[in-house]
Structure 1
């Protein structure tokens, strides 16, 4: 395959802020766990209607930032916020912020509409109205320079660092060369690589930000007495956190790193960025966070990524709301055993069937096909897992506010 595929264009959806989406979804947001059942029932049997939510009754600035960022994601056309009625996070405030972005938005409390059945009926009526409205969103041509692509890895084994992550890294190099934006995260999986990480900073400011993010991650791991390794990693052939870190870092490719962003922060320009999702120092009233793959993927989506790549050596069966998830493996056995869940087989690099460049171009073709409307494996299966925890990060500030 030659590089002509990189010039492919497709139809996207133009938003008021100039960003372009590859999907045109109605998003339902619940503002407390007590409203989650109603929210999911409203979305049931509805095409292109996704659900996210925050379970806590007490509000949390980090979580609200995420909800607001996801509600204004380029793949989202309209938003319905549903609450029970007594929680701190107020759905009408979310709808207000969404409407200011030019999207249709509405909200209600279940307590105000007579409970489950009446609320589901009301919600479905609102969703159907929104579907008609967003069908008129202007179409616009997109290509790779319009893309923000996130990358995460989980269930890693030895092939993740040898093939899965390096193929994603080579694609990232191509994406940046084409004028696109690439975001990788998991600072806690860069332990042992401080000098290598900092040396990749594009400017002195970027180098300082990378060093600070690394030091914070190291401190966090010491505080919680947990390094990002697991029995599954060891079973898959990884022996130390440093070895795992080298493999995880490979997904960043080789381009200079523009800087560090935090969760729900949009990159200020194209290029390669590191996402810092590690909590900032604070008095933890609700205990430590529970990091997992679904949280990390949603963190990437909250930065505006229209599509996310998930590298897994041992296999995974998760998906994501809002942005399509594509699962990449460097393990031929995993791809064969879990072909219904895995999108891309990077093991051909290890077997000698493909060069790294050929595999990266094949991955680019697959991503373009998904951007053009083809369902990824998780999308086709209906996987839309997500996780929004209580967490604290000092920035970005909670502009627009969302408290009662």
Structure 2
């Protein structure tokens, strides 16, 4: 497949015009006290997944993220379940979802009578929602131009920057050329590359957004006295944050950067975008920037990514809800050692078995198959890890709102 525009499959059309590659019922719990019931409701139910917010008190960042996931193009319907004491109200989530054109329901466990009765009620609701979206959601042609794909890296080693991330970058170039959208984040793993990053901006506006996000990330790392480099990275052959940053930024490919979006904000037009997940500076003590890979993946999904790529050198056993996770490794030994969890071996580029361009096209074929319904390995294994945290970020001012 040399031209991604030639590949098509059938997707699910949402009321906002976006297209999903899955037609899921999402069960959302609004406080940790309701987590067991929500998990039990989703257990054993086909095309049903669960996410939740552990806190009893509201946090605008977390609520924005949850509402973005609830209206994700892969989600067809939502059930919101609460205990009854928390600030976050399930009915308000359901109302926002219904206004997006999706069916939704909600209830408090305290109103239903307890654990067993709530699980029974929830399973009955999920069955009705699943049947409704199977009947009513239109099936439409879909291609790479309809896709938003995010990329995260974690458990990095020397091969991540040499071939793992560059393979994704070469694929992202083709995705953008085909009219699709790519999102990268991890701004704290771009430190040391300011000139290189700023020169990739599509225009003066985008350069200003990148400069602001970069300066905030540097300030943040200085204040918490920690950069995004770990003992595992050192063991894998990386030596400095600048070296890690060079490898991490390679996932962005070579196309112009359209601008910066925040968590829960979808790119307003196609192309390559950078997501800012770093807490805003006036409340820096509240929340951390991506304390684990799972949160970074959730951030990318909140931006509308129907598929997320995860590049790892040393290996990983996580997955994600809502959007399939496709694991790419630049280390062929890791691929062989963890074959049950790894999807794609980019390490073959190092040995000369395939070229970088050929690997990018193979990866595109695999993503096209996943978009058409094939399960990635984390998806088939049942990995649905998620992490929603308290953090402070100002509400994003989208470009559409600014133009009104």
TM-score, length-normalised on structure 1?
Answer: 0.97
Deviation digits for residues 155-211 of structure 1 (CA, Å, limit 9, x no counterpart): 000000000000000000000000000000000000100111111000000001001
Give the 3-state SS of the residue equivalent to 1:282 in structure 2. Answer: helix
Structure 2 vs 1, CA of residues 250 and 284 (structure 1 numbering), >3 Å: closer, same or farther?
closer
Structure 2 vs 1, CA of residues 96 and 393 (structure 1 numbering), >3 Å: closer, same or farther?
same
Deviation digits for residues 93-132 of structure 1 (CA, Å, limit 9, x no counterpart): 0000000011000000001111100000000000000010
Q: Which whole-Å CA distance do the structure 1 matches of 2:109 and 2:221 have between them? A: 41
RMSD: 1.2
Matches within 5 A, 1:79-98: 79-98=78-97
Give the 3-state SS of the residue equivalent to 2:334 in structure 1. Answer: helix
- Partner residue of 2:126? 127
- Partner residue of 1:322? 322
- Partner residue of 2:207? 207
The yes-or-no answer on 1:301 pairing with 2:301 is yes
CA contact (8 A) 2:283 2:392 kept: no
Structure 2 vs 1, CA of residues 184 and 93 (structure 1 numbering), >3 Å: closer, same or farther?
same
Structure 2 vs 1, CA of residues 305 and 387 (structure 1 numbering), >3 Å: closer, same or farther?
same
Q: Which whole-Å CA distance do the structure 1 matches of 2:178 and 2:290 have between them? A: 36
Q: Which whole-Å CA distance do the structure 2 matches of 1:317 and 1:93 have between them? A: 34
The yes-or-no answer on 1:40 pairing with 2:44 is no
- Partner residue of 1:73? 72
- Partner residue of 1:277? 277
The yes-or-no answer on 1:264 pairing with 2:260 is no
How far is 1:286 from its partner? Answer: 4.8
- Partner residue of 1:100? 99
Q: Which whole-Å CA distance do the structure 2 matches of 1:287 and 1:355 have between them? A: 42
- Partner residue of 2:184? 184
CA contact (8 A) 1:20 1:75 kept: yes
Structure 2 vs 1, CA of residues 304 and 84 (structure 1 numbering), >3 Å: closer, same or farther?
same
* Structure 2 residues without counterparts, runs of 5 or longer: 399-404
CA contact (8 A) 1:6 1:364 kept: no
How far is 1:6 from its partner? Answer: 4.7
- Partner residue of 1:396? 396
Runs of 4+ with deviation above 4 angstroms: 284-290
- Partner residue of 1:114? 113
Q: Which whole-Å CA distance do the structure 2 matches of 1:13 and 1:30 have between them? A: 25
Q: Which whole-Å CA distance do the structure 2 matches of 1:44 and 1:287 have between them? A: 31
How far is 1:282 from its partner? Answer: 2.9
Give the 3-state SS of the residue equivalent to 2:151 in structure 1. Answer: strand
CA contact (8 A) 1:289 1:390 kept: no
Structure 2 vs 1, CA of residues 391 and 300 (structure 1 numbering), >3 Å: closer, same or farther?
same
- Partner residue of 1:402? none
Give the 3-state SS of the residue equivalent to 1:364 in structure 2. Answer: helix
- Partner residue of 1:336? 336
CA contact (8 A) 2:78 2:104 kept: yes
How far is 1:3 from its partner? Answer: 1.2
Q: Which whole-Å CA distance do the structure 1 matches of 2:288 and 2:246 have between them? A: 26
Q: Which whole-Å CA distance do the structure 2 matches of 1:214 and 1:249 have between them? A: 13
Give the 3-state SS of the residue equivalent to 1:368 in structure 2. Answer: helix
CA contact (8 A) 2:145 2:179 kept: yes
How far is 1:264 from its partner? Answer: 0.3
Structure 2 vs 1, CA of residues 82 and 163 (structure 1 numbering), >3 Å: closer, same or farther?
same
CA contact (8 A) 2:287 2:389 kept: no
How far is 1:285 from its partner? Answer: 6.8
How far is 1:214 from its partner? Answer: 0.3
Matches within 5 A, 1:346-365: 346-365=346-365
- Partner residue of 1:193? 193
| Number of residue pairs the alignment of both structures matches | 397
Structure 2 vs 1, CA of residues 20 and 287 (structure 1 numbering), >3 Å: closer, same or farther?
closer
- Partner residue of 2:402? none
CA contact (8 A) 2:309 2:325 kept: yes
- Partner residue of 1:17? 16
CA contact (8 A) 2:5 2:145 kept: no
Give the 3-state SS of the residue equivalent to 2:282 in structure 1. Answer: coil
